[in-house]
Amino acid sequence: MNSFSNTNWLITGGSSGLGFALAENLSAQGAKVAIVARNERSLFEAAQKTGAVAIAGDVANKEDTYKIAGQAFAQLGRIDYLVNNASSLGPDRLQLLLDTDCESLEIALQTNVVAAFRLIKAVMPSLLLQGSGTIINISSDAAVNAYAKWGAYGASKASLDHLTRIWAEEVRSRGVSLLSIDPGDMATPLHRQAVPDADFSRLKDPQSSAKDVLAWIAQQPDSGQRKAV
């Protein structure tokens, strides 16, 4: 039996990159997966390719949060794993903090931190009632390394890491685990947006990263851990 057979997953940012690769891998293992994305065309194409349930919505939009959670529970019955994968750079292009608008920082924090927090709050009561569940927050090495021009993104991912640790501490005795995972530099649309002239042949394939991520989760790490894979 595969590690995640008969488990239910909700994955944000599931129409491309790591989210798509996770959905594809998990469906092949016999898991039931719901993916979330803003672009409906890309979302439904990804759902058709992966066999996942499509949930259209913008995680950064407060009004969409409970719609996403409600549709996920309606389609899946229960959620065993939530993957907060949707991310934003903040600025349209990488730039020094001095040149970064406050509004661009707000976009990064809204998508990468506040949206994850809202969705966790939306699903957490059900996870606590069922006495089990794992929440995986996708982080970055920019959360721990000070890369010039990655300020908005790095600050948001550092905040997400610490939010994960605090959530883990608060629900440690209730059967719910929270993890931070840095999947490495991948050949994804987000990375292309950040560094258009990057040599993608030197970056990790999202499929490879997805397998590494799932292999670590399958080891059942202690709640609150952060891992670079």
Q: Which residues are catalytic?
A: 153
| Cα gap 28→22, rounded to integer Å | 10
Structure tokens at 101: 């608008």
| Cα gap 58→42, rounded to integer Å | 13
Cα–Cα distance list, 124 to 69, 107, 143, 176 (Å): 10, 24, 25, 8
| Region for 37 from its dihedrals, namely left if φ exceeds 0, alpha if ψ lies in -120 to 50, beta otherwise | beta
Query: Phi/psi of residue 55, each to 5°?
Result: -125, 110
Q: How many CB atoms lie within 10 A of CB 98?
A: 6
| Cα gap 229→216, rounded to integer Å | 8
> Using an 8 Å Cβ cutoff, are 31 and 53 in contact?
no
Structure tokens at 44: 């439904």
> Using an 8 Å Cβ cutoff, are 55 and 72 in contact?
yes
Question: Among 76, 67, 156, which Cα is nearest to 117's?
Answer: 156
